[in-house]
Amino acid sequence: MSTITVGSHAHDDSHGHAHAGSFLTTYVFSKDHKVIGIQFLFSTLIWFLIGGLLALGIRWQLAYPWSDMPVIGKMLFSSEGGQISPEFYTVLFTMHATVMIFFVIIPILAGAFGNFLIPLMIGADDMAFPTLNMLSYWFMWPAFICVGASFFVEGGAAKAGWTSYPPLSLTDLNGQTLWLMGITFVGVSSMMGSINYMTTIIQMRAPCMTMFRLPMTIWAMFITAVLQAFALPVLTAAGFMQLTDRVLGTGFFIPDGWSANNSPMAGGGGQPLLWQHLFWFYSHPAVYIMILPAMGMVSDIIACFARKPLFGYKPMVYSIAGIAGLGFIVWGHHMFVSGMNPWLGMTFMVSTMMIALPSAIKTFNWLGTVWGGNIQFTTAMLFALSFVSMFIIGGLSGIFMAATPVDIFIHDTYFIVAHFHYVLFSGTAMAVFGAIYFWYPKMFGRLMNERWGKVHFLLTFLFLNGTFFTMHILGVVGFPRRLADPYHYATFHHLRPMNVFMTWCAIGMVATQVIFAANFILSLFFGPKASRNPWHCNGLEWQAPSPPGHGNFDFQPVIYRGPYEYGSPEVDTDYYPQTQPPPQTESPQKAGESPAVQPAGH
Amino acid sequence: MGKFWSLVFLLVPVLGVAIFAVSPWYDHWLPRDISQHGHTIDHLFYFILWLTGAVFVVTEVALFWFLWRYDGKPGAPVKFVHGSHSLEIVWTILPAATLLFIAIYQMNAWANSKIRNPAAGPDGIYGTADDMRPMLEVTARQFEWRLRYPGLKAEGKLGDADDIFVVNDLHVPVNEEILLELKSADVLHSFFLPNARVKQDAVPGMKIPVWFRCTQTGSYDLVCAELCGWGHYKMKGRLTVESREEFDKWLAEKWKEQEATQDPQVAEGDVE
């Protein structure tokens, strides 16, 4: 593997300084990976708030169907008399999922943390293609505009579910067209990012940073980038096919002799199930795009605060690779009752069962990491531990759905809603909170308030379980998702009190995020100044200044070991930075000082 | 504070198990099973529930115990280990074997529900329209279930002039294998009988066979379980399971009503 040489690094540095000019190129159209990462972070956090409020709309309807929403109802739905109409309800859950998946989770993991951390953690001065990197952020804006504007066009925003199954999605008005365009722009942005991440991780590692000395975060980002590069083109193509079905009169997804709403439809000869295959061929790998980086970051945080090496580094790497590989052959488990040939269901069931295995291996290794450690309960650690605790639930509930006969009953019920919220909110979003508390000092040079961080953690943790754990029970009763008013069915009539409880937990959960927002914003200005390495961490990023300047490192990092040598008997401290030369060859150096460059080794 | 946080994590298995243990007492549980194959599905559900429940409790309690036991003290020594080859092998093989067992264990139930079409010939894998003798045809459309029963005259054949048309009111005889043909007139729908543990999407352009056998009489919900537009929530049908005599009587009544109000040819054209 090639690594950058000292000479080229110096050259890049001077090249970088030429950029540090006007406000516009420094903070807006910046090519610095750190600024781009922080741009992604702020944009996605704002969409996180919007997505959360959309969820509250869903929860309100399920707790108090067809009743006036207090205070904000008149403001938001004045045309409907302060109530959520059945049509607007379909918009709510469609856009909640769209915003959370495409504008929050994927870009906050890959865009914000991927961008910020990859060059810092591998010892590079920036991404391989800085201009492409800048474009990957700015291509999110047309998507933001398309989806944001779709709320105000005739017929409202997309309302065929985030899965956009035709033919229903073909009957929608303009909102669906804007949705498809938005998703295509997100796809272009992710594609630019993934090419850049792969190239950077392969080509720009610091001297002696071998692949098996990379932190888990980088391994996860790398494999995520591979997943995106191979799966995304399918979604983009499918999106275009649906777009041409809608506007050009093709018939990829329209069966013969089909009409809806009493209007004759052009096209024909297509197959609605084709969309489901194409969509899930992307969107199942996308499920792993939405969790693998979180798994990587959690591994780093847990090892750091357990003050102990990560248990089973290589099995952890192999299981990420295993999840990614198997992730391409399990998409059919979303379609067990779709009308797909049931023999296919049998094969997808076996592959789906097998994908639980690498997840189990990862969980056992996290437990192994905590075992025998010297645990420091920082806010970041609490969030990372809650990821493990919650991922166990999300992983185990997946087995119910993988079991095809059981899935006949729980498919499209709240059991699946519980499952993916345990993976995506209780899992990924909690890991993201942990990652924000953990890397905030590196991003902004100041620490967040720990006391309020822990209050934020405790309340979020309690409320999220109140909201999502009870969903399993609803699912066991068969409570279907996406129903604006399920209570007129005798089977589900008695479930409303539980839904009221869940709704108030959800309101509490969203309200709790005010604590987080205040902590985040106030710490930008008033937080205590952070040293280079406030957590006494081994990772390379902690050897750079906080926050790192343009070009990242004020010395040429050379790597001597993997990132998890906590509590090593070789040194007196309980951590052993990757750049610190071993004591027998040279005198130990303090973190932050420039170690002598070792030309040997590359 | 470490002990406090450990206890917070202990809440997960304690409350998790408690909620699942209490729910059946408050009728927040699987709806009453009225079908023959439903108990196989329920058995599988309980099997997986016990299995995953055990793994859930063991892993969550282990997490709690490690947090409690290894609550940090500054400078305390840690176990400087990077992993264990034998442990990795154990916790790879054991879950792999368990998962594979579940996969194989349930294949028969899946085949009985979705593959072994009772009307198909011995080689019939996925009953084609020709070798099927559906007892009725269900056409889902925004936002109702259109049911079409074969008339009383022409030996139970569908597509005759004597077909009987009913909306949202599905009647089936008890203890008989019901085979229906599921179609959609517009968008995707899903034919969901929670009590009979039946769910199948209706896809425009496809005829999908669905079969089940109800063992208890009564009146139950027929739910649409796939988003089909703004009125999805009110696409509500009724399943009535009754004795053969009552069923025949009901069908004859429906035929009489239909004769009295409309020409069946017109109704047929309407559904097609």
For chain A, what is the mean pLDDT?
90
Q: pLDDT band for A137, please (50, 70, 90 cuts).
A: very high
The closest of A580, A597, A579, A539 to A9, measured between CA atoms, is: A597
pTM as predicted:
0.92
Query: How far is it, in rounded angstroms, from Cα A528 to Cα A121?
Result: 24
Nearest CA of chain B to the CA of A392: how many Å? 7
- Provide CB contacts within 8 A for A371, sequence distance 6+: A311, B66, B70, B79
Nearest CA of chain B to the CA of A95: how many Å? 14
* CB contacts, 8 Å: B232 with chain A: 86, 90, 482-484
Query: How far is it, in rounded angstroms, from Cα A172 to Cα A149?
Result: 16
Nearest CA of chain A to the CA of B52: how many Å? 6
* CB contacts, 8 Å: B82 with chain A: 309-313, 564
Residue with tokens 């754990």: A469
B80 and A308 in contact by Cβ < 8 A?
A: yes
pLDDT tens column, B213-266 = 999 999 999 999 999 999 999 999 999 999 999 999 999 999 999 888 865 555
Q: What is the mean pLDDT of residues A518-526?
A: 97
Q: pLDDT band for A25, please (50, 70, 90 cuts).
A: confident
Residue with tokens 């729908």: B189
Q: What is the pLDDT of residue B160?
A: 74
For residues B207 and B129, the answer to whether their CB atoms sit within 8 Å is yes
Q: Which residue of A has its CA nearest to B42?
A: A406
Q: What is the pLDDT of residue A80?
A: 65
Q: What is the pLDDT of residue A16?
A: 42
Q: What is the pLDDT of residue A600?
A: 40
**Strand B237-242 versus strand B218-224 pairing type:** antiparallel
A476 and B76 in contact by Cβ < 8 A?
A: no
Query: How far is it, in rounded angstroms, from Cα A397 to Cα A319?
Result: 19
- Option in B71, B102, B226 nearest A375 (CB): B71
* CB contacts, 8 Å: A409 with chain B: 30, 41, 45, 194, 197, 199
For residues A401 and A353, the answer to whether their CB atoms sit within 8 Å is no
* CB contacts, 8 Å: B44 with chain A: 403, 405-406
Q: pLDDT band for B157, please (50, 70, 90 cuts).
A: confident
Higher pLDDT, A54 or B154: A54
A477 and B30 in contact by Cβ < 8 A?
A: yes
Q: What is the mean pLDDT of residues A459-472?
A: 97
Q: What is the pLDDT of residue B260?
A: 87
B113 and A405 in contact by Cβ < 8 A?
A: yes
Q: What is the mean pLDDT of residues A578-598?
A: 61
Q: What is the pLDDT of residue B126?
A: 47
- Provide CB contacts within 8 A for B220, sequence distance 6+: A490, A491, B34, B193, B194, B195, B196, B238, B239, B240, B241
Q: What is the pLDDT of residue A480?
A: 96
For chain B, what is the mean pLDDT?
89
Nearest CA of chain A to the CA of B61: how many Å? 10
* CB contacts, 8 Å: B233 with chain A: 86, 89, 483-486
* CB contacts, 8 Å: A332 with chain B: none
Q: pLDDT band for A584, please (50, 70, 90 cuts).
A: low
Higher pLDDT, A145 or A79: A145
Nearest CA of chain B to the CA of A61: how many Å? 12
Q: What is the mean pLDDT of residues A278-304?
A: 96
Residue B137: phi and psi, rounded to 5, are: -115, 130
Please say if the pLDDT value at position B16 is more than 90.
yes
- Option in B31, B60, B197 nearest A477 (CB): B31
Q: What is the pLDDT of residue B132?
A: 52
Sheet holding B164-167, edge to edge: B164-167, B144-149, B136-141, B177-184, B208-213
Q: pLDDT band for B84, please (50, 70, 90 cuts).
A: very high
A484 and B109 in contact by Cβ < 8 A?
A: no
* CB contacts, 8 Å: B199 with chain A: 337, 408-409, 411-412
For residues B31 and B194, the answer to whether their CB atoms sit within 8 Å is yes
Distance separating the N- and C-terminal Cα atoms of chain A: 9
- DSSP string over B228-254: -SGGGGG--EEEEEE-HHHHHHHHHHH
Q: What is the pLDDT of residue A400?
A: 96
Q: Which residue of A has its CA nearest to B110?
A: A405
Q: Which residue of B has its CA nearest to A485?
A: B233
* CB contacts, 8 Å: A260 with chain B: 142, 186-187
pLDDT tens column, B35-57 = 999 999 999 999 999 999 999 99
Q: What is the pLDDT of residue A296?
A: 97
CB pairs under 8 A between A and B: 316
Query: How far is it, in rounded angstroms, from Cα B115 to Cα B108?
Result: 10
Please say if the pLDDT value at position B129 is more than 50.
no
Nearest CA of chain A to the CA of B244: how many Å? 25
* CB contacts, 8 Å: B127 with chain A: none
A396 and B56 in contact by Cβ < 8 A?
A: yes
The share of chain A scoring above pLDDT 70, in percent, equals: 90
Query: How far is it, in rounded angstroms, from Cα A479 to Cα A495?
Result: 9
The closest of A229, A140, A473, A431 to B26, measured between CA atoms, is: A473
List alpha helices for chain B, DSSP H: 2-22, 38-69, 85-105, 107-110, 244-261, 264-271
Q: pLDDT band for A98, please (50, 70, 90 cuts).
A: very high
Q: Which residue of B has its CA nearest to A94?
A: B227
Task: Check the CA dihedral A404-A409-A414-A418 and report its sign.
Answer: negative
pLDDT tens column, A152-210 = 998 889 999 999 999 999 887 789 999 999 999 999 999 999 999 999 999 999 999 99
Task: Check the CA dihedral A117-A122-A126-A129 and report its sign.
Answer: negative
Return the bridge partners of B242, or none.
B173
Q: What is the pLDDT of residue A583?
A: 84
Query: How far is it, in rounded angstroms, from Cα A42 to Cα A115?
Result: 13
A476 and B29 in contact by Cβ < 8 A?
A: yes
Q: pLDDT band for A590, please (50, 70, 90 cuts).
A: very low
Query: How far is it, in rounded angstroms, from Cα A125 to Cα A540?
Result: 12
- Provide CB contacts within 8 A for A563, sequence distance 6+: A213, A214, A215, A300, A303, A538, A539, A540, A578
A403 and B106 in contact by Cβ < 8 A?
A: yes
Residue with tokens 């997804």: A253
The closest of A58, A64, A50 to A99, measured between CA atoms, is: A50
Best residue of B20, B40, B80 to probe chain A, by most A CBs closer than 10 Å: B80
Return the bridge partners of B240, or none.
B171, B219
For residues B143 and A483, the answer to whether their CB atoms sit within 8 Å is no
pLDDT tens column, A220-242 = 999 999 999 999 999 999 999 99
Residue spans of beta strands (DSSP E) within A378-430: none
The closest of A598, A554, A544, A543 to A576, measured between CA atoms, is: A543
For B80-96, letters b (16+ CB in 10 Å) and e give: eeebeeeebeebbeebb
Q: What is the DSSP letter of A495?
A: G
Q: pLDDT band for A266, please (50, 70, 90 cuts).
A: low
B72 and A376 in contact by Cβ < 8 A?
A: yes
Nearest CA of chain A to the CA of B166: how many Å? 20
Best residue of A375, A494, A500 to probe chain B, by most B CBs closer than 10 Å: A375
Residue with tokens 């409880």: A501
* CB contacts, 8 Å: B73 with chain A: 374
**Other CB atoms within 10 A of residue A515 CB:** 17
Q: What is the pLDDT of residue A40?
A: 97
Higher pLDDT, B124 or B175: B175
Best residue of A276, A337, A493, A538 to probe chain B, by most B CBs closer than 10 Å: A337
Q: What is the pLDDT of residue A290?
A: 96
Nearest CA of chain A to the CA of B28: how many Å? 6
Nearest CA of chain B to the CA of A270: how many Å? 9
Q: What is the pLDDT of residue B87?
A: 95
- Cα torsion A106, A109, A115, A118 to 10°: value is -130
Please say if the pLDDT value at position A479 is more than 50.
yes
Higher pLDDT, A174 or B192: B192
Residue with tokens 């499918």: A238
- Option in B15, B48, B110 nearest A345 (CB): B110
* CB contacts, 8 Å: A310 with chain B: 82
Nearest CA of chain A to the CA of B144: how many Å? 14
